[in-house]
Copies of this chain bind each other. A is one copy, B any other.
Amino acid sequence: MVKILVIIVGGPSSNNVDVKLAKILGIKHVKLIYKEFPDGESYIRYPRPEDVKDEDIVIVQSLYKPQSKHIFELLLAIDAAKDFEAKKVISVVPYLAYSRQDKRFLEGEPISVKTLLKTIKNAGTDYFITVDIHKEYSLKHFGEGAYNVTAMGELAKHIKENVKPANPIVLAPDKGALVHARKVAEILGNVDYDYLEKKRDLITGEIEVRPKELTVKNRDVIIVDDIISTGGTVALAATSVRKQGARRVIVGCTHALLVGNAREKLSKAKIDYIVATDTVPSEYSKVTVAPAIAEVLKQILKI
């Protein structure tokens, strides 16, 4: 029987997930050589292209800002791997950019996540793995061979060990994220979970959010979401539940983009603890998505 050989290839925005994956799986790791030309074009190079021939190649490249630059670097890495006669190309994209433009909100818009997944596939990707994609149904644009992994298990374990929440309730900022709250609640020991609804305070007139069914009074509140972008949603949630008598406010999210003045908003909201993953580099990236991705890779590669 021929041994299946696999190489993990780290792209310029792998954020070290490549190294962690190689360590977990015990397989060969290669970092792409990277530079930027004076005009801003990206340059990548496989240090030993002859190693790629007839092997399964796992290219790790996360698509945080500058998103399009990282997208094109991924395409270069895929296309070159095919040129060097890689057997299968598995693109691991811990954070998938453009995943929130997942339908036509207005007539005339592209479905950007479709454009991106089609492009990654057409470049020569056989299997695609991402983490907590904004909407799971978007994977259909890649078709067969697309996998979504959740980081919520790892986030929940981290919160359990490091924060030890008392009388916890897990809250999603909206109905669409309830699946994340359910997962975290389960790992915390089947605790309560709910999602937040926008309401106007009848006395002050201010917008606030409240759990649909449950109450937060004297409880440690864990707010979970896939993305923190400008921080507005999470900050409003934290401020609201605090007013409603929450004891501690803990935030867990997969992708901490933290754009614009997100840090200021989070700081003003006086959140007791924030944890995110390494799909996007940030000061909150205390959890790695590598073990979750490794599980899927083991299935795909039968290793």
Q: Which residues of A contact B (CB under 8 A)?
A: 33, 38-49, 65-69, 71-72, 75-77, 79-80, 83-84, 97-98, 101, 106-112, 114-116, 118-119, 122-123, 229-230, 257, 259-260
- Check B38–A260 contact: CB distance below 8 A: yes
Inter-subunit contact B83/A72 (CB<8 Å): no
A76 and B259 contacting across the interface, CB-CB below 8 Å:
no
Taken together as a complex, chains A and B put the C-alpha atoms of A98 and B112 apart, in Å, by 23
- Find chain B residues with CB under 8 A from A69 CB: 66, 68-69
Contact between A45 and B260 (Cβ–Cβ < 8 Å)? no
Q: Is the CB of A115 within 8 A of B230?
A: no
**Residues in chain B near residue A230, CB distance under 8 A:** 38-39
Inter-chain contacts of A46 with B (CB < 8 A): 108-109
- One complex includes copies of this chain to the number of 2
Neighbouring B residues of A65 by C-beta, 8 Å: 39-40
A111 to B116, CA, bound (A): 21
* A115 contacts B75, C-beta separation under 8 Å: yes
Q: Closest approach, in angstroms, between the C-beta of A55 and any C-beta of chain B?
A: 14
Residue pair A68, B72 in contact (C-beta under 8 Å): yes
Residue of B nearest to A112 (CB): B76
In the assembled complex, the Cα of A278 lies from the Cα of B81 at a distance in Å of 36
Assess A119 versus B39: contact at CB under 8 Å? Given A44-B110, A45-B109, A49-B107: no
Beta-carbon nearest neighbor of A46 in chain B: B108
**How far is it, in angstroms, between the C-alpha of A42 and the C-alpha of B107 when the chains are bound?**
17
Task: List 12 A–B pairs whose Cβ atoms lie within 8 Å, in order of A's numbering.
Answer: A33-B108, A38-B229, A40-B67, A40-B259, A41-B101, A43-B112, A48-B108, A69-B69, A80-B110, A80-B111, A118-B122, A118-B123
Nearest CB in chain B: distance from A171 CB, A: 23
CB <8 Å contact, B41 and A97: yes
Complex alpha-carbon distance, A138 and B108, angstroms: 33
Within 8 Å CB of A49, what residues of B?
107-108
Q: Are B48 and A110 in contact (CB under 8 A)?
A: no
- Please tell me which one of the listed residues B39, B68, B80 contacts residue A109 in the complex, with CB atoms under 8 A apart: B80
Q: Which 7 residue pairs are nearest across A and B when measured between Cβ atoms?
A: A80-B110, A46-B108, A68-B68, A122-B122, A79-B115, A49-B108, A68-B72
> Could you tell me the distance between the alpha carbons of A242 and B106 in the complex, rounded to whole angstroms?
59
Q: Is the CB of B79 within 8 A of A114?
A: yes
Whole-angstrom distance between the Cβ of A85 and the nearest chain B Cβ: 13
Residues of B within 8 A of A68 (CB): 42, 66, 68-69, 71-72
